[in-house]
Chain A
Amino acid sequence: MTEKMFSKETWLETLRGLTTEYTVFVPVKDGDFHVFQPLEKETVPDFDYQNARLSPKSLVYPQSERMFEYSLDEEDPERRILKEAPKEYTPRAVAGIRPCDAHAFQIVKRNFDNPEFRDPWWVQRFESTTLVGLGCNEPCPTCFCTAMGGGPFHEEGLDVLLYDTGETYLARSCTDKGEAFLTNAGGGETADEKTLKRAAELPGKSAEGMPESRKVDPVREKTINDLFDAPFWEEVAFACINCGTCTFLCPTCWCFDIQDEVEGKQGDRIRNWDSCMFPLFTLHGSGHNPRDQKFQRVRQRFMHKLKYYVDKYDDGFQCSGCGRCVQFCPVNIDIREVLQLMSNDG
Chain B
Amino acid sequence: MENPYLPYPVRIDDIVTETEDRNLKTFRFVFLNPEDQEKFAYTPGQFAELSVAGKGEIPIGIASSPTEKGFVAFTVNKVGLVSSHLHNMKVGDIMGIRGPLGNWYPWEEMEGRNVVIIGGGFAFTTLRSSIVYMIEPENRPKFRDIKVVYGARNPGMLLYRDELAAWEQRDDMEMHITVDGTDDPAWKYNVGFVPTITEQKITSADNAIAIVCGPPIMIKFTQPVLEKLGFPPERIILSLEMRMKCGIGICGRCNIGDKFVCKDGPVFSLAELKELPPEY
Contacts and interface: CB of A to CB of B under 8 A. Distances in A.
Contact of A224 (B32, B57, B258): B258
Interface string A234-266: 000000000000000000001111111010000
A288 B280 CA distance: 9
A302 interface: no
A285 B94 CA distance: 24
A262 B4 CA distance: 22
B85 to A, nearest CB: 10
Contact of A262 (B54, B57, B94, B250): B54
A276 B253 contact: yes
Contacts of A257: 245, 251
Nearest to B57: A258
A209 B194 CA distance: 64
A70 B53 contact: yes
Nearest to A124: B1
B16 interface: no
B250 A286 contact: no
Contact of A284 (B1, B7, B243, B277): B243
B263 interface: yes
Contact of A256 (B243, B251, B255, B257): B251
Given A68-B6, A116-B263, A308-B257, A258 B245 contact: yes
B258 A118 contact: no
B52 to A, nearest CB: 8
Given A82-B51, A284-B241, A296 B263 contact: no
Contacts of B257: 224-225, 228, 303, 308
Interface in A264-292: 267, 269, 271, 274, 276, 281-286, 288, 290-291
Interface string B251-263: 1111111100001
A312 to B, nearest CB: 5
B250 A119 contact: yes
Contacts of A72: 53-54
A218 interface: no
For this complex, into which size category does the number of interface residues on chain A fall? 35 or more
Contacts of A254: 250, 252
Contacts of B83: 285
B7 A308 contact: no
A262 to B, nearest CB: 5
B22 to A, nearest CB: 17
Interface residues of B, number: 47
Contact of B1 (A79, A123, A256): A123
B1 A118 contact: yes
A114 to B, nearest CB: 8
Contacts of B68: none
Contacts of A281: 243, 253
A304 interface: yes
Contact of A84 (B3, B242, B246): B3
Main secondary structure of the interface of B (DSSP, over half): loop
A286 B79 contact: yes
Interface string A196-229: 0000000000000000000000000001110011
A34 B83 CA distance: 44
B148 interface: no
Contacts of A286: 79
A67 B5 contact: yes
B120 to A, nearest CB: 14
A49 B94 CA distance: 53
Contacts of B249: 114, 116-117
Nearest to A67: B5
B251 A82 contact: no
Given A282-B243, A285-B79, A117 B252 contact: no
Interface string A136-165: 000000000000000000000000000000
A122 to B, nearest CB: 9
A309 B5 CA distance: 23
Contacts of A111: 250, 252
A311 interface: yes
Interface string B19-60: 000000000000010000000000000000001111111100
Nearest to A118: B1
B232 interface: no
Q: Which one of B54, B94, B276 has the greatest number of beta carbons of chain A within 10 Å? A: B54
B138 interface: no
B134 interface: no
A256 B275 contact: no
B217 to A, nearest CB: 11
Given A72-B54, A224-B258, A80 B93 contact: yes
Interface string A73-104: 00000011110100000000000000000000
Interface in A315-343: none
A120 interface: yes
21 contacts: A80-B94, A114-B249, A118-B4, A120-B2, A224-B258, A225-B257, A225-B276, A254-B250, A255-B251, A256-B245, A257-B245, A269-B56, A282-B243, A282-B253, A282-B254, A285-B79, A288-B216, A290-B279, A296-B279, A309-B258, A311-B258
Given A81-B32, A282-B242, 5 more contacts: A80-B93, A117-B248, A225-B276, A228-B277, A256-B245
Closest 9 CB pairs of A and B: A255-B252, A285-B79, A308-B258, A80-B53, A228-B277, A80-B94, A120-B1, A285-B80, A70-B53
